[in-house]
Structure formats: C-alpha cells, structure tokens
Structure 1
C-alpha cells in the first residue's frame, strides 16, 4: 500500500484479518506479517497503531470480548421466554461457533499475551470468563423469575456450562457438535437447578 493513503478503521481491518487467520490457520499462523498481508496493508501499519505484536493481540482479544456485550444483553433479554436449556445451548453455540475457541488457543499459546492481558483482565481466559459471566447473569435472571431453583448457584453453573461448551467445541478442525449434543450437555449440567 502506498504511503500517505489514509486507511479507514485500520484497527478493525487488522482485527478482522486476525479473525480470519485464527479460524483458518490457528494461533500458530497468526503473525504480524500474516495479519498485514491478510488485511492488505503494509507491515508498518500494524506497528504504527500498536506498541508491538503482543500489544496488537491483547487489544484484539479485548475487542472480541467487548463484542460479547450485545450477545449478553440479548441473552438477558431472553429471560422468561422460551426454554432455559434451549436459550443456554444457543448462547454456547454462538460463543463457541465464533472465533472464541481460536482465541482461547491463542491465549494459551502465547505467554507474553497472557502476561499483557493480566494487566487489565486479572483472572481466567477473557473470552471464557466473559461467557461464564454472561450465562451466570442470565441464569440469575431466570432464578428471579422462578425458572431456575431458588438455591441455584448461577455463577458456578455459568462456569460449568462454559467449561462443558469448551470441551464440546474445542476441536476447531473437526465438525461442530450437533445442536442436540449441546442441548443434552446443558440439560445435564442444569438438571438439578431446573424446577420439576
């Protein structure tokens, strides 16, 4: 790309390129050269906007976590409607059907990235932690409506459901689990928390 040509939304362009690379090639394929080539920009563009490549990756991960806000709001708004198990199974499929599984692999693959994320994200893997919070809050709303047992620990259930979802979706190179398999797993985790 010639110098002096303005690039609109360069961060988003680079982040979208990172999404495509992660989904196609996994964390080992995600390099600064691969990102700039995929985005169609000069390599210097990345370093102009980010301190270094790990800084880019940290911002990328946090941006993708922020994108979950709309999904979290939609799930909370679903409280009191539909079937609880179906709502949670759909939320898990949406989280893990996205770039989230690849981001988990990326975070565990790169020590420096984990160290940078700890500066602003004190515990857990950001995408998984945010998903557990999202599902826990939804279950809390359902508990208030009487659709989840009064004594249910929604935070623990959210974490267990995300862990279960991660196990189901962890192999990004194989086929995604069937929706019925996800639903069965959710029903098993929530079994004791659902009113009879």
Structure 2
C-alpha cells in the first residue's frame, strides 16, 4: 500500500477494520497486517499510532467499554417506561451485537491482552462486566419505581441475564437469535420479580 495516503480519523478507521476482521474471520485471524489490509492503509500506520498490537487492542476494547457505558445511561433513563421485559430484551439485543460477541472471544483467546486490560483497570471479562453493570443499574431503578418486588436480588438477576444472553448470541456462525427467543429467556429470568402493572 502507498505510505503517503492520508487517512482521516485513523483510530476510528483502524478500530472499524479490526471489528470487521473479528466478526468475519474470528480472533485467530486478527493481526496488525490483517487490520491494515482491511483498512486499506500502509502497514506502518498502526504502529505509528499505537506502541504495539496489544496496545491497539486494549484501546479498541476501551472504546467499546465507553460505548456500553453510554448505552447504560440510556437504559437506566428508560426505567418506568414501556415494559420491563421489553426494555431488557432490547438492551440485550443492543449489548450483544456481533462485534461485542467477537471481542469477548478475542479477550478469552489472548492471554497477553487480558493482562494488559487488567493493567488498564478492567477486571473480569470486559464488555460482559459493563453489560452486567448496565442491567443492574436499570433493574435497581425499576425496583425503586416499584415495578420489581422489593426483595428482587439484582446481584443475581443481572449476571444471570447477561450469561443467558451470551449463550444465545455466542454462535458466530449462525444468525443472531430472534427477538422472541431473547424475550422468552428474559421473561424466564425476571418473571418472579415482576410486579403486576398498577390499575
């Protein structure tokens, strides 16, 4: 590739290229060469902006983490509107898109990356942890509003929802689960905590 081609928003283009490679080919295919080829830029571009490839991947994941945190605020603001099951179903469809599922696989696949993420202050499996926190905040808001019972165990419900959703979405080779399947799963997890609508 010619090295003199100027790229606008280099980070964004490289991140988008990495996500496309991940979703299409899986974590084992993700290399700096694959990213720069996908972004149609010179091989040295990535290393001019990032110290090494794990630094690039760490920044990619941090960018995704911030995106989930932004969506968490929107989800919490939805408390008290619509149906609890419907809100959770939509949130899980949004949180577990193909890119998130592929990045979770990447984190599990690369030991060095997990160590780098811990140094950046991310514990557990990033994205999964933030998704769990987002759902917990929403559930807490709904409990406060009286749409969930006072004894609702949010610390159990939130990770159960995330784990069940991840199992539904985890197969990268097939189509994403249907909304009805996600709703069924959500209802099965939270039905015991729901209060009937007030007359």
TM over 0.5: yes
Shift of 1:172: 1.1
Contact 1:17 1:39 in 2 (8 A): yes
What are the superposed Cα offsets for residues 130-176 of structure 1, whole Å, 9 maximum, x if unpaired? 00000110011101100111111223211111001001111011121
Segments of structure 2 that go 5 or more residues without pairing to the other structure are: none
What are the superposed Cα offsets for residues 95-136 of structure 1, whole Å, 9 maximum, x if unpaired? 112411001100000010001001123421111000000011
How many positions carry a matched residue from both structures? 196
Shift of 1:4: 4.8
Change (3 A) 1:121 1:160: farther
Partner residue of 2:78? 78
Segments of structure 1 that go 5 or more residues without pairing to the other structure are: none
Q: Secondary structure at the match of 1:99?
A: helix
Question: Within 1, Cα distance between the matches of 2:33 and 2:73?
Answer: 36
| Equivalent residue runs for 1:177-196 within 5 Å | 177-196=177-196
Q: TM-score with structure 2 length normalisation?
A: 0.94
Within the alignment, does 1:156 sit opposite 2:156 as a pair? yes
- Shifted more, 45-54 versus 120-129: the winner is 120-129
Partner residue of 1:103? 103
Contact 1:132 1:155 in 2 (8 A): no
Partner residue of 2:117? 117
Contact 1:136 1:156 in 2 (8 A): no
Contact 1:79 1:141 in 2 (8 A): yes
Cα-Cα RMSD: 1.3
Contact 2:69 2:130 in 1 (8 A): no
- Shifted more, 5-14 versus 145-154: the winner is 5-14
| Equivalent residue runs for 1:16-165 within 5 Å | 16-165=16-165
Question: Within 2, Cα distance between the matches of 1:140 and 1:49?
Answer: 41
Contact 1:132 1:158 in 2 (8 A): yes
Question: Within 2, Cα distance between the matches of 1:138 and 1:149?
Answer: 14
Q: TM-score with structure 1 length normalisation?
A: 0.95
Q: Secondary structure at the match of 2:8?
A: coil
